[in-house]
A = this chain, B = another copy of it.
Amino acid sequence: MLKTRKTTEADAELIAAHRHAMFAEMGKSEATALDEMRSNFVPWVEQMIGTGKYVGWIVEENERPVASSGFFELEWPPHPLDPAGEHRGYLLNFWVEPEYRGRGLARELVREGLAESRRRGIWVTALHASDAGRRLYEPMGFKATNEMYLIDQTSE
């Protein structure tokens, strides 16, 4: 039977492993960058769970973790879409073990994240969607934004 629970600081290694698996599956990152990210992510998420800025959920079957996701509270300037708000919700680290896909677990985890935004009075919740993810998020009401970024790996 599947049960969902909130993460604690003790889950930091598991969350990092799922984050690593997610990016590895997307196939766009080098193994060394993934390994370095993973080892730096463990203390980061441990700290952020402690402060309450990061909240995660783990779906377990007989205590085996089979899916997880996270919510992170970003500082954000008051914006016309949320003119009294100073935060955005950010959903991340969606992972479902391959043999558990197609059962709606990811959708359930998105709903957990949106409920977390609602509890915090946050009106705008963002995420970065893989191609597979987009097919899940669009029917739930997510829309593509006009975000752009520049990567400058020569920074100190």
Contacts and interface: CB of A to CB of B under 8 A. Distances in A.
Most buried by B among A28, A126, A147: A147
A119 to B, nearest CB: 8
A63 interface: no
> A interface, by DSSP: helix, strand, loop or mixed?
mixed
A118 B150 CA distance: 12
Contacts of A68: none
A28 B83 CA distance: 14
B156 A118 contact: yes
A128 B147 contact: yes
Interface of A: 19, 23, 28-30, 33-34, 36-37, 40-41, 44-45, 48, 53, 72, 74-75, 77-84, 86, 88, 92, 114, 117-130, 134, 137-138, 140-156
Identical chains in the assembly = 2
A5 to B, nearest CB: 21
A124 B128 CA distance: 14
A36 B140 contact: no
A140 B150 contact: yes
A129 B120 CA distance: 27
Nearest to A81: B151
A155 B34 contact: no
A38 to B, nearest CB: 8
Given A83-B40, A121-B155, A123-B155, A114 B150 contact: yes
A78 B41 contact: yes
A147 B121 contact: no
Contacts of A148: 126-129, 134, 137-138, 142-145
